[in-house]
Amino acid sequence: MTDPSSITPRDKAEILAQALPYIRKFHGKTMVIKYGGNAMTDPALQQDFAEDVVLLKLVGMNPVVVHGGGPQIEAALKRLGKQGHFVQGMRVTDAETMEVVEWVLAGEVQQDIVGLINQAGGKAVGLTGRDGGMIRARKLKMLDHKDASVEHDVGQVGDIVAIDPSVVKALQDDAFIPVVSPIGFGEDNESYNINADVVASRLASVLQAEKLVMLTNIPGVLDKQGQLITELTPAQIDALIADGTISGGMLPKLAGAIDAAKAGVNAVHVVDGRVPHSMLLEILTDQAYGTMIRSE
């Protein structure tokens, strides 16, 4: 990472001048940020992320953070001597596992993020889907990939029924930065563990966000030669999925991105969270630090 003291005053002025049109364009707009991967576990990148979120707020944008926590949940289960089970890549979440998921996500992980943002000069507030009745969910129906007549029981894994963003909007209006844990509640008050990419995408759609930024552990969407594709439309993504260029773990992430773009989010950015300040560079400069998916 470049040492800020080595940047000349002229270079600093150029950087600020380049950012100004973007600051003006996005002033007052909502930015939903999915926070996960290396950016969430490396201490230096954690600090960079918190500073970026606070800066976006200070220049007049409205960041909303949705976080994951898979590695932290896995570590907590191991400490309890509990072995995780997966079906088609989805964690089977029994009642005991759900308890661990709640205290890791809504306790440990969420409060770490709130603390980092507050330390960087922001005013963060932690929420789960229960707060303000924000995320209503039902049990996810998981059909077998090979035989659609077979349904797998993955426990308390949730599918979003509806999102009520009133509590997020109220916090934004009061200059707070909402930090959302991806936990929903059912009609019998049961808790559900929901994929954080899905929560971020649906929340961005409901809030009619200007941008959805997804911090990942890869540079963005790559072509068959391994080169970064800097800009895509939902139709182009469909073609890349059909010819096998996009597959594996990128599929569910992009499914949410496509849904958000089709629902009115102007741009979705899949950004490399391993690059210091990559989110800020993607939003406030001409340089592409990831893949931007535009609504058609």
Q: Is 158 helix (H, G, I), strand (E, B) or coil?
A: strand
Q: Does this model's pTM top 0.85? A: yes
Q: Is 70 annotated as a binding residue?
A: yes
Q: Is 121 annotated as a binding residue?
A: no
Report how far residue 239's alpha carbon sits from residue 87's, in angstroms, rounded to the nearest whole number: 28
Specify the pLDDT at position 223. Answer: 84
Domain spans in the chain, listed from the N-terminal domain onward: 25-294
Specify the pLDDT at position 226. Answer: 83
Specify the pLDDT at position 2. Answer: 47
Report how far residue 169's alpha carbon sits from residue 163's, in angstroms, rounded to the nearest whole number: 12
Burial of 76 (0-12, 13-18, 19+ CB in 10 A): middle
- Local mean pLDDT, 10-residue blocks, the chain (296 residues): 59 79 93 86 90 94 94 90 81 91 94 96 96 96 83 91 96 93 95 93 94 88 86 86 78 80 87 88 81 82
Phi first, then psi: what are they for 293, rounded to 5°? -105, 115
Q: Is 69 annotated as a binding residue?
A: yes
Distance, C-alpha 201 to centroid of its chain: 8
**Angstrom distances, CA of residue 62 to CA of 133, 150, 231, 235, 283:** 21, 43, 24, 29, 13
Look-up of token digits 């969420």:
110
* Helix H or strand E encompassing 32: strand 30-35
**CATH 3.40.1160.10 corresponds to the domain 25-294:** yes
Specify the pLDDT at position 114. Answer: 97
Answer yes or no: are the C-beta atoms of 268 and 257 closer than 8 Å.
yes
Report how far residue 41's alpha carbon sits from residue 289's, in angstroms, rounded to the nearest whole number: 20
Specify the pLDDT at position 170. Answer: 94
Give Cβ neighbours of residue 14 (< 8 Å, ≥ 6 apart): none
